[in-house]
Amino acid sequence: MTLLDHDRIRAVVWRDGSLELLDQRRLPQCEAFLRFNEAPAVAQAIRNMVVRGAPAIGIAAAYGVVLAARHAFATHGDDWQAAVRGDLQCLAAARPTAVNLFWALARMQRCLDALAPNVDPLLALLAEADAILAEDIAANRRMGELGAGLIDAGSAVLTHCNTGSLATGGFGTALGVIRAGWTAGRIEAVFADETRPWLQGARLTAWELTQDDIPVTLLAEGAAAHLLRQGRVRWVIVGADRITADGSVANKIGTYGLAILARYHGVKFMVVAPSSTVDMALASGDEIPIEQRAADELLSVGGARVAADGAGAWNPSFDVTPAALIDALVTERGVVLQPDRAKMQALMGDGV
């Protein structure tokens, strides 16, 4: 089978003048696209996890700017640029940790600023959003190639959360490496954490891999230590929502624990993310804002309460893995082994 056989899913689509998002809350039981024509509704979709994953959030927000500008131009004439600011602020406030959201909005803002007030902004902004989407897919394919090149033939790998086509424009970051490694015959088995409380591993990663004919074995997070002790897994491969100037990584809660387990058991730990995820303005992981989500997400499953009445919950959506626990950081710009501040500066240059 070819790489195309393992890359058939697209979750963020511009179709017939509207943004369509595959509703990830309903997977795997139901595959349904929701249609959006207003920026505030896109922001709500990001907040409510209709779309998730740092690159996909940024792409959805870029198309949200297209919708905002189209509406503002139709209703405010030459004052449309001022009218669109509120929608951009609404999109920016949707989720605080994933830096790709702010990167994409800043890029769309630069495109907005270059437009004359009396010119319909739709074509220029749509072209920019399309470019962000296409560049993300190209970057993912490059990262897949680079990351797979680090993996010895016959390896088993473990991944956490969902980092595939559902979390990106297509192909995926960590799952892109797994797709490329599986196609090349380097990976012989894929294990996936269930990823509580939203079960992205069980619902999304397992769905993606089975859809693309890649066998996957699911495990509870609590089983990861026992699995790594068996000696079969060679790499833990994860994505990232923000990477700081010292190489520290914010990713789905549970990633830090996996990194500690991997180091103890002599298993390599790989982080895969586009350079748009790197935030050189933050010196270390201590400066990353960590999103705290509603307690009910942890106390309930599928709308049914599973915790004892009266119990509270602490529900951070992300944790921070220090650079010292990372063996390889893969971006489309290249691979950084044992990342640190100097190596991150060399990778990013001026930080843009």
pTM: 0.91
- Tell me: the pLDDT tens digits for 94-138? 998 778 999 999 999 999 999 998 999 999 999 999 999 999 999
The token pair that represents 277 in the structure block: 């995820």
283 and 323 Cβ atoms separated by less than 8 Å: no
Predicted pLDDT at 3:
67
- Tell me: the pLDDT tens digits for 258-316? 999 999 999 999 999 999 999 999 999 999 999 999 999 999 987 899 999 999 999 99
Contacts (Cβ under 8 Å, ≥6 apart) of 127: none
Amino acid identity of 42?
V
| Average pLDDT in the chain | 95
Predicted pLDDT at 77:
85
Predicted pLDDT at 8:
84
Query: Known catalytic residues?
Result: 241
323 and 248 Cβ atoms separated by less than 8 Å: yes
Predicted pLDDT at 162:
96
Predicted pLDDT at 312:
95
Predicted pLDDT at 272:
98
Q: How far apart are CA 166 and CA 8, in angstroms?
A: 11
Q: How far apart are CA 229 and CA 222, in angstroms?
A: 13
Residues in the chain: 352
Share above pLDDT 90 across residues of the chain, in percent, rounded to a whole number: 90
